[in-house]
Amino acid sequence: MTTIKASCPTCGEVELTSRDITLRVCNHAPLSYYCFECPACTEEIRKPADDHIISLLMSGGVRAQVWEIPAEALETHDGPALSYDDLLDFVLQLSAHDTLSVAAGGRTRT
């Protein structure tokens, strides 16, 4: 089995096998990463994986797992963040109107 050298921020260079490494390739390339448990300190090390690193790891026998980030997670948002007051106002609005509950197929309060 191929020996793969990686680095732990604490322990420095460590030797791994393809089975020790998890490669997660994302449809949004900057979020692809690989991770492994350091054999010396047992910390989980997670590092970004660009195309070059993905190719190297796969040529060393690491299997790629594909994951997709939901499009909503990449949307840019303007305006202030939702506050607790906003949430409370929303809950009060929901309790005053059963329209949403009816639309969702739930029963209205009697």
Give contact residues for Zn ion (rule: CB under 5 A). 8, 10-11, 38, 40-41
Q: How far is the CB of 14 from Zn ion (least distance, A)?
A: 6
Q: How far is the CB of 86 from Zn ion (least distance, A)?
A: 43
Q: How far is the CB of 11 from Zn ion (least distance, A)?
A: 3
Query: In 3-state terms, what secondary structure has residue 76?
Result: coil
Closer residue to Zn ion (CB): 11 or 94: 11
Closer residue to Zn ion (CB): 10 or 55: 10
Closer residue to Zn ion (CB): 8 or 58: 8
> In which order are the strands placed within the sheet that holds 64-67?
44-48, 33-37, 21-26, 64-67
Closer residue to Zn ion (CB): 42 or 110: 42
* Six token digits for residue 76: 């840019």
Q: How far is the CB of 95 from Zn ion (least distance, A)?
A: 52
Q: DSSP letters along 3-63, please? A: EEEEEETTTEEEEEEGGGEEEEEESSGGG-EEEEE-TTT-PEEEEE--HHHHHHHHHTTPP
